[in-house]
Each structure stands twice: as structure tokens, then as C-alpha cells.
A and B are shown apart, each in its own frame.
Chain A
């Protein structure tokens, strides 16, 4: 690949538009919010930029740190589940025939064509007390009860709907459901590029399937795995719709708290400080990933 430094003018022409775009619609608004985080409310609609760090001091109080910690935990657990589910799916797609690949990828992409809110509402009606999931369970329960009665063991107690919504289980399930494609696609890209002959060699030389996966496939696909983890962890960390709609009374995540500062509490400076604490954490993660990439490049 040609180094961009060799043709600076061409690079400048091509890059000018995206850089202007980035400046105007990302850097400038972000800078304003960043400025707010050092201000205080001087009236109902006015913010005075005083250079105070009291908003950050408040954001680092145990109450908010606890919510940060819980959000990280939820996002980490969700990401782990993405990986456990997403990796076999990506493997299956990567190793299927060309004809099937296109269809399987389409199946992964298809939910993206539907709005996130609508998908969440669909999940709500599926998991409710009188939703399809509980209706199915009830059918099985009643069937088992009838069999038990016929065999002379007596009928079961009446079916009690399983609480599938409005708790932390629902929160994790909702997040996994919504973001899974983000994990599958980078994993698929990494696995698809893999030199298949290495796998054959591993199997020929006597390694089992499990060993081949853990010693050959995973190390080779590591960059894809890491970007998949990062690309799913970050939106899960900032999720607010799913905890709002599917979570229970204690499923609040940091994004819900931030949202309330900008809306109900009308405390933009504090909301801005919370947002930036979250963003610093995200930047650190991305920086760590970049450093790792550089090291692995240096090694090869």
C-alpha cells in the first residue's frame, strides 16, 4: 500500500470533506458539551462557564461510581454472552458453502432493517405475563399436568407465569438481542479471512477440534474478536432504551442517569460531566486496543 505521506495533495483533497464533517458535527458539538461540564446553571436556560470542577467531583461520588460500575458489569456480561453465542454462529457462517453464506448473512442483517424501538416492543409482547413465551410454557405445563393426572399422580398446581420482563434478566436478554449482529459480523470477517489450510494442518497433525479452535482459530482471529468485543461493549455500556423499557426497578444504567440530567433534572453541566466520564472510559478502552494492535503488528 502506498503511504499517504507520498501524495499529500491527493490525500488533502479526499480527506477535506470528511474532516470538515467531523469537525462541524462531532468536534464542535462535543467541545460545547465539554465546556458545559465545567459550568453551572445560572438560570433555567442559561449555563455560566465558571471553570468549576464540582460537576466532575459529583460524578465521582460513590452513588454515581456505583452506577458506572454496575453499567460496566452489565455491559461486560452482555459482551461475554455475545461472544459465546456469536462465535459459533460466525464459525458456522464462515465455514458454510458460498450459496448458504449469503443467506445466513442476510438472516443476521435482517433485524437491522427494523427500528430498534420496534424490535424492543416486539420483545416486550413476546416476554410479557400473557406473552407468547409464557403461553408456550403454560401449554407445556398443562400438558404435563394432564399426563401426570392420567398416570395417577394428580394434577399440578395451576400455572404461574414466569417473570421474564422488568428485571435484570430481561435487561441482559434485551441488550444481547439488540446488539448481537455487531458481534457476529466482525467475527465472521476475521474467520472468513482465515487460511483454512492451517486448520486442516492442525487436524492432520493430530490436534482435536477443540484444541484447533483454541490454539489455532482463536489466536488468528484475535484482532476480529477484539474489535467485535469493543464494538459491542461500547453501545451496551451506553444503552438507555433497553433498561428503560425492559429493565426492572434496579436496572438503571449510567445512560439513564445522564438522560435524566438533560431532561427532568435540567442539570446540563452535571449531565455533561457524567457523559465525559463515560467517554474518557471508552477512550481508554479504545486506546488500549490500539496499543495492543500496534504491539502485535510489531511482532509480525
Chain B
């Protein structure tokens, strides 16, 4: 055991050097380590990011369907070094794209990253399969607050990968005061021609509901009519309805206020000092992106191993360092530097968060949101 520990400690401190020498070297030294580590149990030093993963008996391949810029720089290579499984990653841009692609049957993906409301939608439709928690021991790293969530009680179908909150990204030098309310975006000409809103009908209607003091899950058709009128009134002051690229519009100076996710603005803030983010005082909508296995996945065991790997503390830390999204992985968060943990953009103040909610998937309301938004845009 002593010998193992020394090797492990040695390895960790030399990780970067070893990687510089080539993946093959790492693979060889890890192969021996993994075998010993297993015998010693996992009570000793926490298995590092590159501890050997036992083969699953499936062909060493995995098809991962992920969002763009949503993984650590070396995560997939590290996983290949640790397990021998090559990950083929394809990218999607919206949950709808993901859903449309899997609707007619799984074209061969093993792990997908749907948001919470799509977990709610895909689980009853039988499009994702229940996870085997025995194969995901790293579930213990997840912050307990993220285990019993309304959209997937007990985490039967999904493991949380990131969470995020919608708010206002703004250019500090162009606003008179911190826009800590939805009013400048939704109900005022104060920043006319300098605001851009997300073009997701459901999100927009729910956030307008928040502005009107309602829960995001209690909107009625009458509320939709009210909100539609407000949106039509506000439309002349809005410059664009963006897809998920509000940070680009803000970064390029096209607009000075955008409705965006905190993680996207946090990424922009690493390049641009003049940008900040606030969760409005009326509260906002939370989202969580999760790791799921679609029905008919060709490599389900590899998929479990991969999900378990992503939930590892060290791996989670490296992913978080790249994507800068809030992580639900408590063990990974603990390893992050203070400027991440105490960043008010990534982890907004508790007072603001207290008023935020997850949106439930409501099949009855979704077409109404869409049609109302089509009317707003056509007006």
C-alpha cells in the first residue's frame, strides 16, 4: 500500500511532465497502478483524474453528443488514456436539435447532455434509460442539493453536469446603474436599441412571468395574452432575438444588455473587463444540463464508465476550469481556486438565488408560447 501511495503522489506531481512525454508513457504507468489500486480499495488517496478504468467488455468506443465548448480541453484524451475507450464527440446547439435527432430513434449516441426540462420530457417518452447507480460510484461527489430534484427525483435518469441561471449580462461603462431588474429588458425604453433577448419562447414568457411576480410554472393562457401585449410593446426597443450567442453580441458591442446564462457571460468576462452579470431581483429561471444515456445506446457500459469519469473530482475540476460554468460537483468545486468559488457571476448571491426556480416541462403550454411568440415577431 505504501508503495502505491508513493507512486500515486509522484504521478500527480509529475502529471504535466508525463503528459509532455506522451500519452503512451502515462498509459503504461497507469496500467500497473490501476491494478494495484483496485486491490487496495478506494479508501486511500482519491483516485486521480487518470486512474485506470477497468475495461467494460464492450468495444472501446463511445459516442458522446454534447454542447459546443462544454468539456475540458484534455478530458476526452485523458479518458482514452485511462480506459482505452476512444470518445467520438458530436455537437448540438439546442435541446430541440437533440430531441429532434433522437425522436425517430437513437442514431448511435451513448451519452447525451439534455437540460432538465428535456429530461422530464424524454424520460416518460422512453427516450432515455434508467442509470445503474452501482456503476456510478462518483455520484457521491454531487452536492446533495442536486440529488432529489423535481425533474428527476433520486436521479434515476440523469446525473447533473452543470447548472446555470439566466440573468442580464451588461457593459458596465454603458449603463447608469446595475440593471438588477427585468424592467430595463422587458418593460422600458431606457436602453432602446441596445438590448437583445434570447429567442426561446418558453424562457421569455416564463421570465416575463417572474417580472410580473408569478412562478415560472404557474402561467395560464390569460398570462400569455398579457405578456404577449407587453412583448409587442417592448419589441421596438429590442435590437435582436439571439440564439444562444448573446455573449458575442455583448462582446462585439452590438448591444449593451443581453439576456443570457451566467456561464456564458463568465466566459466573456475572462476576456473583457467591462462586462458584468446580474440575476434580477425578481428572481429567474434555473437550468441544469445533465448526463443521460439514450435508449438503444450501443455501448451502455462504456457510457456508465464515462459518466462516472466525468463526475470524478479531478476530472470535474479540469472541465470546470475550461467551461467556467457552475458545477454541481461538490468535490470538484472544493478543488477550484477561490476566484471561482467566490465569483458572484458563477455563484450569484444567495438572496437572488432564493427566488430562482427550475421550469417544469408543460406540454400543454409549449405550443401556446410558440404561437404567441410567432405573433410577437410578426407584429
Contact = CB atoms under 8 A, between A and B. Distances in A.
Contact of B374 (A125, A130, A165, A252): A252
B193 A249 contact: no
A129 B100 contact: no
B379 A44 contact: no
Given A44-B124, A63-B378, A264-B201, A249 B240 contact: yes
B374 A263 contact: no
B243 interface: yes
A133 to B, nearest CB: 13
Most buried by A among B97, B100, B240, B243: B240
B362 interface: no
Contact of B253 (A63, A129, A249, A267): A129
Main DSSP-derived SS at the A contact region: loop
A67 B378 CA distance: 7
Contacts of A263: 94, 96-97, 99-100
A228 to B, nearest CB: 30
A265 B370 contact: yes
Q: For the side of the interface on B, what is the size category? A: 35 or more
A252 B252 contact: no
B374 A260 contact: yes
B133 interface: no
A239 B240 CA distance: 18
B254 A266 contact: no
B274 to A, nearest CB: 13
B99 A244 contact: no
Interface in A122-146: 125, 128-130
Given A45-B125, A260-B370, A260-B374, A250 B379 contact: yes
A67 B379 CA distance: 10
B235 A249 contact: yes
A88 interface: no
Given A43-B125, A128-B252, A165-B254, A63 B366 contact: no
Interface residues of A, number: 28
Contacts of A248: 239-240
Contact of A249 (B100, B239, B375): B239
Interface string B105-147: 0000000000000000110110100000000000000000000
Contacts of B193: 163
Contacts of B96: 263-264, 266
Nearest to B373: A260
Nearest to A252: B377
B241 interface: yes
Contacts of A66: 378
A124 to B, nearest CB: 9
Interface in B321-379: 363, 366-367, 370-371, 374-375, 377-379
29 contacts: A43-B125, A44-B121, A44-B122, A44-B124, A44-B125, A63-B375, A63-B378, A67-B374, A128-B252, A128-B253, A129-B253, A166-B239, A166-B240, A166-B254, A248-B240, A249-B235, A249-B239, A250-B378, A252-B377, A257-B374, A260-B370, A261-B370, A262-B100, A263-B99, A265-B366, A265-B367, A265-B370, A267-B367, A267-B370
Interface of B: 94, 96-97, 99-100, 103-104, 121-122, 124-125, 127, 193, 200-202, 235, 238-241, 243, 252-254, 363, 366-367, 370-371, 374-375, 377-379
Interface of A: 43-45, 63, 66-67, 70, 125, 128-130, 163, 165-166, 244, 248-250, 252, 257, 260-267
